[in-house]
Chain A
């Protein structure tokens, strides 16, 4: 005889379809197994109902829900774009503030000191070019120190945070670059005694683009290789352009027009702000992208 074991719990709960109910009830009349089953499920049902009956829902939940609803609705009703923008700004600001504590502290006084030395040299020697020469070097050194897993006191923290590493690097870079810009501007203003005021703009422009490019390059190299290598390479690239190559070649007696052409192009590159700024942006994008891979490589090296 077929039993209705699967249907009985539903029957007891009153959830069996009426078409099945009559068949089951007919069967029940003569089947003691299923009768027992009904009794069993009845007591289960009673027990579950009894256990639930002792549960009382907390009072005032509807009020709390409504309060929650109002709270969330208010800022959204007045300018949704505004509040989102404000939240984004707050997030960016808190990231900047948090990262500003984690940047190596030596950066601030050292670069200020070197810049001050540059200003003094320029003032004493009456050569404003000293600032144009020094500003990119200081900036490059600072940025090369940003990504430095071996010596970063906060490196573990950085790796452990849910904020992606490129955002952190970007935040640090923004802080330090702003600082570089400010001290370079201050240095330029300090030169006012030896340069005519209308020349100030030209002076600023002459270090701005090289500074941006060189520091971006230093940052990228520091991510790829290491801080010290980045500083060395970027310094060499910057200083070498001041050499008079044709004279050196003449002395060595190996004059070549091709080399000279190349050299002129190289020197021109440092003097064309547009090209420099475009390459800066490209290098920065690559740098931000390579943070993803560098982390892994550098951790392996430090192990």
Chain B
């Protein structure tokens, strides 16, 4: 069974490299149209990446209204500085970098840091179905563990697993060395593992 999974993974990898270059060409074309000030291109960009932009902004700000502003500012920044994107990396990584920058700029003007209350509002517990299975229980534990992570660790997980960025790209987004991202990842692992093992003991 494992062998089957592995071959599947392998074929996924090859497909991914093929799709990567296609994605890059598509991104470049989109950006070229934005540089040419085609307004429908910005709409297209939002349709393609809006969900990912917004969810990352939400992850960083923990405030839906602020996240909305951040995405709007990011789109404006994309409109003005599209020229500086030359396809040296993936568009999504470039966009994440702008989101990151916009958030840190707007959080600097905030009177207070993100409060715990806001944090817990964001990933509110959703009622689990009544027939809880073993895996459901584990899922709930992981969800709790994720909530307890600090924003910077949560952010790395978000970029790795949801936005599908590579370590290098994440380091570029956060403007810190790859080593820092690696250690944040392993710290997040320890935290989550800790939650799980503690629950297993009980």
Contact = CB atoms under 8 A, between A and B. Distances in A.
A56 B50 CA distance: 9
A14 B135 CA distance: 23
Contacts of B189: 5, 9
A57 interface: yes
Interface string A50-84: 01101111100111111011000000000000000
Interface in A160-215: none
Contacts of A256: none
B51 A57 contact: yes
- Residue among B72, B126, B138, B193 with the most chain A CB within 10 A? B72
Contact of B142 (A18, A43, A64): A43
Nearest to B186: A6
B72 A15 contact: no
A40 B43 CA distance: 38
Contacts of A5: 186, 189
Contacts of A12: 161
A18 B75 CA distance: 34
Given A18-B13, A65-B75, A13 B196 contact: no
B196 A40 contact: yes
- Residue among A40, A57, A64 with the most chain B CB within 10 A? A57
Does more than half of chain B's interface fall in helix, strand or loop, or is it mixed?
helix
Nearest to A72: B76
A51 B146 contact: yes
Interface residues of B, number: 53
Interface stretch (A21-29, A92-100, A141-149, A221-229): A21-29
Per CB-CB distance, the 8 closest pairs between chain A and chain B, nearest first, are: A65-B75, A57-B54, A62-B46, A57-B50, A45-B161, A55-B55, A48-B161, A15-B166
Given A55-B54, A61-B46, A62-B45, 6 more contacts: A44-B192, A45-B161, A51-B123, A58-B68, A61-B75, A65-B73
Interface of B: 2-3, 6, 9-10, 12-13, 16-17, 39, 42-43, 45-47, 50-51, 53-55, 58, 68, 71-73, 75-76, 79-80, 123, 126, 135, 138-139, 142-143, 146, 157-158, 160-162, 164-167, 182, 185-186, 189, 192-193, 196
9 contacts: A9-B185, A18-B13, A35-B2, A40-B192, A40-B196, A48-B162, A52-B158, A57-B46, A61-B54
